[in-house]
Each structure stands twice: as structure tokens, then as C-alpha cells.
Chains A and B, each alone.
Chain A
Amino acid sequence: GGIITQTPKFLIGQEGQKLTLKCQQNFNHDTMYWYRQDSGKGLRLIYYSITENDLQKGDLSEGYDASREKKSSFSLTVTSAQKNEMAVFLCASSIRTGGADTLYFGAGTRLSVL
């Protein structure tokens, strides 16, 4: 089996600060994702990457940058943290089996902005 490791687990930032979240996977999956989870709002796709050095915008990409320099890692940058923002950022990777992709998620980075 494999694992998705997200760092840090908790991130406290200041308004306007640039913040970077990191994700590593050892599944050897090609595709990786960043989702944002807000209380009561489900999961919304921020960025995804089909392969190394590929980046695709999701529905919620404004205010974020992403980087996929290696197959095993995918980082997300909050370009300017918003005051009182609180959310969980989930990284995932996927493999196609039986004609459909299965997502494997990390435990998340919990962001609070003061």
C-alpha cells in the first residue's frame, strides 16, 4: 500500500501572507489533486496535475498557485491569505481501475488565518 503525506498538518498565517502547503505520495500515481474543504460545503477542486510539470485549474483556482516538479510531489501556494479564513486543504492522487478513477486522500492541512 501507499500513503499521501501532507505537511504541515496545521498552518496558522497572517492576513496577506503567502503560504505553501506540501504533499508527497508514494503510490507512483500519475495524477494528483488539491481540494479545499469548508465546513458544510463539500470538496472543491483547486488544481490538478496529470503528470510531472503539468498543471490544470479547477473550479476554485483563483488566489492559488500550484507546482508539480516531481511525480511524487505536488505543492499548493495560497498567494495572499484572507483574514479569518479557515479551511482544510486535501491532497489526493488517483489510479484508474475498472474504467473509473479512485481518489486516495491525505489527512489534510488545516489552515487558520489571523
Chain B
Amino acid sequence: QQQVRQSPQSLTVWEGETAILNCSYENSAFDYFPWYQQFPGEGPALLIAIRSVSDKKEDGRFTIFFNKREKKLSLHITDSQPGDSATYFCAASPSGGSNYKLTFGKGTLLTVTP
């Protein structure tokens, strides 16, 4: 049973466009939602995270929009740059944000074309 779903599997946008990566979850107990960014040949790194008490979290060009009622969230990357090309993982965990119970989605491969 896949508890965290990501779509699309892959996405190509032009430089300067806004990339929108989607994530949905099933477990109502999930409270903490980090997004990890992974470049080829490297391990993932935390990009941005949100808690379910918020509906939006912004960090520069990266914004998470969160809809608790629909159990959906999305990562918007504005003014996309070729250097943003990477795989993005949405993850979720219950209250307390313990990594022991962190569930990852399968990832979205983003390609930004110059």
C-alpha cells in the first residue's frame, strides 16, 4: 500500500517557467511533510518542509502549498533554472516528525531545459 504518492513521475519545463510537483497521502496521522532534492550521484538533501498546521511555506523560489482536507500538497518552483534539474521526493511522518516513521514517495524527476 503506497501511502505517499507523487505525480508526475517526470516533468520537463523551460527555464523561467514554474514547475509544479504534486504529492498526496492517505494517512490522516501524517503531520510533517519534508521535500528532499536529489542530484544524480548524490544523496537526497532536505529542500523545504511544512507542518499540517500551515497551508503554505515559502523559501525563495520554492513554495509548498498544503491542503489538509484533500490530503494533498504541491511544490512550486518558480523561475525554474537548469540547476534545479533533480529528483524531488515528497515524504511524510506522523506528529513529532520522527524519521523512524518517515514515508517517502517514489519521486518526480524534474528536467529544466535552457
User: Hey, which bits of chain A sit against chain B, CB under 8 A?
Assistant: 4, 31, 33, 40-45, 48, 56, 90, 92, 94, 96, 99-108
Contact = CB atoms under 8 A, between A and B. Distances in A.
Interface of B: 4, 9, 32, 34, 36, 41-46, 49, 51, 89, 93, 96-100, 102, 104-107
Given A102-B46, A105-B43, A105-B44, A41 B100 contact: no
Given A31-B99, A99-B96, A101-B97, A43 B104 contact: yes
Contacts of B43: 4, 90, 92, 105-108
Nearest to B100: A48
Contacts of B97: 96, 99-101
A105 B97 CA distance: 17
Nearest to B38: A105
Given A33-B99, A102-B46, A40 B104 contact: no
A101 B89 contact: no
A13 B99 CA distance: 30
Contact of B98 (A41, A42, A43, A101): A101
Contacts, number: 59
Contact of A40 (B9, B32, B36, B96): B9
Contacts of B93: 100
B64 to A, nearest CB: 14
Given A42-B89, A43-B104, A94 B41 contact: no
A108 B44 CA distance: 10
Contacts of A44: 104
Nearest to B106: A42
A24 B77 CA distance: 33
B42 A107 contact: yes
Given A42-B106, A90-B43, A99-B97, 19 more contacts: A4-B43, A31-B99, A40-B106, A42-B89, A42-B104, A42-B105, A45-B100, A48-B99, A48-B100, A92-B43, A100-B34, A100-B51, A100-B93, A100-B96, A103-B44, A105-B42, A105-B43, A105-B45, A108-B42
